[in-house]
Amino acid sequence: MNSSPHEAPQPARIDQMRRDYTLGGLDIQDVHDDPLVQFELWFAEATGRPHDAHPVTRESVAQEAGIPGWFEPNAMTLSTTTAAGDVTSRTVLLKGITSKQFVFYTSYESTKSRQIAANANVSLCFFWPHLQRQVLVSGRAERTDRESSTAYFQSRPYESQLGAHASTQSSTIESREILEQRMAELAEKYPPNTTVPLPEKWGGYAVTPVEIEFWQGRTNRLHDRIVYTRPSDAGPQTPWQLSRRSP
């Protein structure tokens, strides 16, 4: 910080911060029967890869909204709870979408993983401000198999692989130097261009949704919310129920 008190910027009036959402609307007849397919369509737009039906480009939406095009569109807020119902949220990156699940990777020793072990019900929240859209997913998380975790781990940059070994995620540590020391030791143990094994403590979770909501911002706060629901014990052939929810 190099500004003197005289040059200090005026604090933003949080209560006066508002933006009207005008980019589009969403109706039940607009969306795909399968919410995972619908998610992929919106995700393609969020990453600036327009699909045929709704050719929204990253540049055009960013220009209209007056904000940068996109940054980490696969970032999502993951909320988990303890058995007692205490909630924790944090950002993680979506690393895969299958025909029925959302996949992310983390440490199995982390707070989130301990909470998932206590209660597999989680929620995911994607916010794409450049499209004035939000997607909410409620579902159950389960560990991915070791083969797919290994395949993803091996695709990560070498330093990230070492980092997964070095970190005891969510634990208290004395200093940053401890991490750097561990990284140096690991670089000796696993030199560059050798295979760094998947740590036992690290892997993926796949979230099977029971509800997905697609939210499109509209004018006057009368936003569109189209919701897909399906009971958690429903088979893959069970059709999703679609409804509109009040904003």
Determine which residue in the list 88, 134, 150, 208 makes contact with ligand FMN, applying CB under 6 A. 88
- Quote the least distance from Cβ 77 to ligand FMN, whole Å: 9
26-85 residues near ligand FMN, rule: CB under 6 A: 72, 75
Query: Considering 49, 146, 221, 245, which one is annotated as catalytic?
Result: 221
Q: In this chain, which of 32, 90, 140, 182 binds ligand FMN, going by CB under 6 A?
A: 90
| Pair of tokens at residue 44 | 């393609």
Other CB atoms within 10 A of residue 23 CB: 16
Nearer to ligand FMN, 205 or 215 (CB): 205
Contact status: 160 vs ligand FMN (CB under 6 A): no
Does residue 106 touch ligand FMN according to CB under 6 A? yes
Place of tokens 């795909």: 32
Torsion sign (Cα): 172, 174, 177, 183 = negative
In angstroms, give the least distance from the CB of 125 to ligand FMN: 13
Q: Which of the 8 DSSP states describes residue 89?
A: E
Residue 49 assigned as binding residue: no
Determine phi and psi for 116, rounding to 5 degrees.
-65, -35
Which of 112, 165 has the CB closer to ligand FMN?
112
Of 127, 80, 118, 124, give the one whose Cα is nearest residue 104. Answer: 124
Q: Report, in Å, the least distance between residue 201 CB and ligand FMN.
A: 11
E strand or H helix at 34: none
Closer to ligand FMN by Cβ: residue 106 or 144: 106
The count of chain residues that interact with ligand FMN, using the rule CB under 6 A, is: 15
With 0-12 / 13-18 / 19 or more C-beta atoms within 10 angstroms meaning exposed / middle / buried, residue 168 is: middle
User: What are 26's two structure tokens?
Assistant: 């969403």
Q: Does an H or E element contain 183, and which? A: helix 176-189
Q: How far is the CB of 113 from ligand FMN (least distance, A)?
A: 7
C-beta of residue 135 within 8 angstroms of C-beta of residue 215: yes
Q: Does 87 bind ligand FMN (CB under 6 A)?
A: no
Question: Is 221 known to be catalytic?
Answer: yes
CB 41 within 8 A of CB 51: yes
The one among 62, 92, 120, 187 contacting ligand FMN by CB under 6 A:
92
Rounded CA gap, 103 and 96, in Å? 5
Per the annotation, where are the binding residues for substrate? 18-21, 95, 152, 156, 160, 221-223
In the complex, the residues that contact ligand FMN under the rule CB under 6 A are: 72, 75, 88, 90-93, 104-106, 110-112, 169-170
Kindly list the catalytic residues: 221
**Known binding-site residue numbers for FMN:** 90-95, 105-106, 112, 134, 169-170, 215, 225
